[in-house]
Amino acid sequence: MPVTNGHGNPKWTREETLLALDLLYRHDAPLDRRHREVITLSELLKGASIHPPERRRESFRNPDGVALKMQNLLSAVEPGRGLSFSKADKAAVADYPKARKEELAALANSLRASFVLHDGAEELPDDEVFVEGRWLTVRHRQRDQRLRQRLLTKLRGTELRCEMCDTLPPPLDREFQESRYEAHHRIPLAEAEQERETRVADMALLCACCHRTLHKMISRYRRWVSVAEGRSLLGRAP
């Protein structure tokens, strides 16, 4: 049985609970704390800014805690199995029973996307690959920092323009112009279980303002919002 030593940690939010329930449904059984997807969810929850650091113990959302949560949810899904469960667990299961697991899976993808944090030199082909997605710290998932520079390098000799708002940079030198732009993943990095391959062509060039606005949209709507949809929400033509 998992040992969490988690007394004093914040209670699980509804969003966290739904992610654990989705994991339970996808495997139709609780998983061991050593399972790759349990570890991945643990790292995702540690990296999310839902709970302030000062309220977290060292055991916060560790793999033991995730495995135990799945056991609790199993009891809510199938009374008599697993361990005890909370009112919040029961409410999550009532809203998303097994019959709605596909709908929950779509919501879980959106929730994982909403936890994606802000990203932070020769001519290269679009299909050059970089490995990304390993957890680097409890708050920042690893993104190959070369990608932004490689994207800008690919655009050398062309006019820089935000793909979301069409804003052009002021008439400064190229270095100052480039400082206004950031690289945005067209596909949510959170959808990868642990690692994924990212190509320069997978990145969109956005001004810093639009990049933050797009991530705010993702957080507000709790689903992935593409650059094209962001343009539409800003009232820009396709």
Pairing state of beta strands 203-207 and 196-199? unpaired
Question: What is the structure's pLDDT at 97?
Answer: 93
Question: What is the structure's pLDDT at 168?
Answer: 86
Question: Amino acid identity of 147?
Answer: L
Query: What number of CA atoms fall less than 13 Å from residue 58's CA on the CB side?
Result: 1
Whole-angstrom Cα distance, residue 79 to residue 75?
A: 5
Residue-wise pLDDT for 170-197, tens only, equals 888 888 888 888 888 887 655 444 445 5
> Residue 150 phi/psi, 5° resolution?
-65, -35
What Å distances lie between residue 202 and 67, 159, 216, CA to CA? 34, 19, 20
Question: What is the structure's pLDDT at 135?
Answer: 35
Q: Looking at 96-179, list the stretches that DSSP marks H as alpha helix, in order from N- to C-terminal side.
A: 101-114, 146-154, 174-178
Helix (H/G/I), strand (E/B), else coil: 223? coil
Residue 213 burial (CB count, 10 A): 18
Whole-angstrom Cα distance, residue 138 to residue 70?
A: 21
Question: What is the structure's pLDDT at 165?
Answer: 92
Q: DSSP for 159-189?
A: ----TTT-PPPPS--HHHHHTTEEEEESS-G
Q: Which residues pair with 198 in a beta bridge?
A: 130
Question: What is the structure's pLDDT at 195?
Answer: 47
Mention every residue, 6+ apart, whose C-beta is less than 8 A from residue 59: 4, 5, 6, 9, 65
Whole-angstrom Cα distance, residue 1 to residue 41?
A: 18
Per-residue pLDDT tens listing for the chain (238 residues)? 443 444 578 999 998 999 999 999 999 888 999 999 999 999 989 888 788 888 899 999 999 999 999 999 999 998 876 567 888 999 999 999 999 998 888 888 777 766 654 333 334 344 444 444 433 333 333 344 567 888 888 888 888 999 999 988 888 888 888 888 888 888 765 544 444 555 777 889 998 889 888 888 887 787 788 899 999 998 887 7
Residue 3 burial (CB count, 10 A): 12
Question: What is the structure's pLDDT at 35?
Answer: 94
Taking phi over 0 as left and psi of -120 to 50 as alpha, with beta for the rest, 119 belongs to: beta
In this prediction the pTM is 0.51
Whole-angstrom Cα distance, residue 115 to residue 215?
A: 9
Write out the two tokens for 165.
């708002």
